[in-house]
Structure 1
């Protein structure tokens, strides 16, 4: 079942996000297995947010643990929160 993932980091910046992204997904033409869509933007209250759609929570967790967490640790990044929920509907124009 597809899932919607919302990641938020109150102390994250665009530069930190980009550096982490570049390490976790070094080739944009070869996205991680199970990733359907990826969006990133500043959070309204400050910090940074990333919203993804994944084929499954397992695919997201695998990418998080194998790629994102090591990249973020390498950069000395502050923590962020991830919220996963089953996706009900989507529309891409």
Structure 2
């Protein structure tokens, strides 16, 4: 079952987000789900929040997200982004445009 993941990274900037995504994709950036290093991403949205930087993803499963998280965590540390626990919700419906 699909899950919704939300992160709010306090004090994080767009430049730090882009540092992580560029490192994750060997400089290609993230433009489509297939750019992710782990299969299973359905959608990704990100932007500034009142406290820093916000990310919302929809993943095919919690297992796919956890695999991605294992690859993501060291990159976040390297970029100086504080550790934060994601909020995880079961998706009732996912509609793609």
If the TM-score is normalised by the length of the shorter chain, which range does it land in?
0.7 to 0.9
* RMSD value, Cα: 1.6
Which residue is 1:76 aligned to?
80
Determine helix, strand or coil for the equivalent of 1:81: coil
Answering whether residue 51 of structure 2 is matched by residue 46 of structure 1, we say yes
CA shift, 1:77, in A, is 2.1
Q: Partner residue of 2:15?
A: 15
Q: CA deviation at 1:13?
A: 0.9
Which structure 2 segments of 5+ residues have no match? none
Gaps in structure 1 of 5+ consecutive residues: none
Instruction: Give the superposition deviation at 1:19.
Output: 0.7
- Please give the secondary structure, in 2, of the residue aligned with 1:52: strand
Structure 2-normalised TM-score? 0.82
TM-score of the two chains, using structure 1 as the length reference:
0.85
Superposed CA offset, 1:32-86 (max 9, x none): 211111111111x221111001000110011111x21011122232223311111
